[in-house]
């Protein structure tokens, strides 16, 4: 019964993605490609990411009921923020993360996908918080748990919970489940419950990165080497492969 309900929800999401003026486009692929392009340009390289952002902004105005457009707009802002962080423009990164969080938080009805992305954005935003850090961390964990409750086999919900848990200090109960959730995502969960280019499929690459960093940190280097090989096989364009390998020499 639960699987039938989850399938119905996935079909409804597809219908939302393809409604009215929404162009059937793989925004995830376009955004990640634009991000890689931006990093290859020494000067300001966000033209493609900004173009996607403007396009989504226009589509949202034309099709206000299409909540999936909001998801991809927040996802684009996440990658813009990542770019600006690497360029040491932290004020811009902070502002973009805050906008993306508020954008998703304002949705009255959230799917498992919305909650998973929202909690990922909040985990990225934690570094910019001072007095409200504990409050935000609680919201982040709560949102990710909502994603898992709505859809226990959602790959992204499992990956984000793994990221959150491994980042928490042991004294606050962290590092108990993170590895298990990331391994489950890699070994047992599919990228999508309903195959479609217009639905989110990210998560496995992030799971590899997080697991490898964790294994390096706790000196489980043989496992780190094994997963770097897998990361290199499945995601040869990953930006962190060479940097991760340096820690194994």
Each residue's pLDDT tens digit, 112-151: 999 999 999 999 999 998 878 889 999 999 999 999 999 9
Q: Which residues of the chain have pLDDT under 70?
A: 1-24, 42, 65, 171-174
End-to-end CA distance of the chain: 51
C-alpha 53/C-alpha 90 separation (Å) is: 19
What pLDDT is stored for residue 174 in this prediction? 60
What pLDDT is stored for residue 103 in this prediction? 95
What pLDDT is stored for residue 171 in this prediction? 65
What pLDDT is stored for residue 22 in this prediction? 40
C-alpha 80/C-alpha 39 separation (Å) is: 11
What pLDDT is stored for residue 40 in this prediction? 86
What pLDDT is stored for residue 52 in this prediction? 95
Contacts of 249 (CB under 8 A, 6+ apart): none
What pLDDT is stored for residue 104 in this prediction? 97
What pLDDT is stored for residue 172 in this prediction? 61
What pLDDT is stored for residue 193 in this prediction? 85
């Amino acid at each position: 019964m639960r699987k039938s309900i989850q399938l119905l929800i996935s079909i409804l999401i597809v219908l939302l993605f393809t409604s009215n003026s929404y162009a059937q486009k793989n925004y995830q692929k376009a955004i990640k490609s634009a991000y890689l392009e931006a990093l290859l340009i020494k000067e300001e390289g966000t033209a493609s990411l900004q173009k996607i952002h403007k396009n989504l902004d226009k589509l949202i105005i034309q099709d206000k009921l299409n909540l999936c457009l909001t998801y991809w707009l927040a996802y684009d802002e996440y990658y813009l923020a990542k770019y600006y962080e690497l360029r040491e423009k932290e004020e811009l990164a902070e502002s973009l993360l805050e906008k993306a969080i508020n954008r998703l938080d304002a949705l009255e009805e959230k799917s498992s996908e919305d909650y998973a992305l929202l909690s990922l954005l909040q985990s990225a935003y934690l570094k910019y918080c001072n007095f409200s850090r504990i409050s935000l961390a609680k919201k982040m964990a709560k949102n990710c748990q909502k994603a898992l409750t709505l859809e226990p086999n959602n790959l992204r919900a499992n990956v984000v919970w793994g990221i959150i848990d491994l980042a928490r200090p042991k004294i606050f109960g962290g590092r108990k489940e993170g590895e298990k959730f990331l391994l489950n995502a890699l070994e047992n969960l599919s990228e999508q419950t309903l195959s479609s280019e217009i639905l989110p499929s990210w998560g496995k690459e992030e799971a590899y990165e997080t697991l490898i960093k964790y294994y390096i940190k706790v000196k489980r280097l043989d496992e780190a080497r094994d997963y770097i090989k897998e990361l290199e096989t499945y995601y040869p364009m990953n930006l962190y492969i060479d940097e991760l390998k340096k820690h194994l020499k």
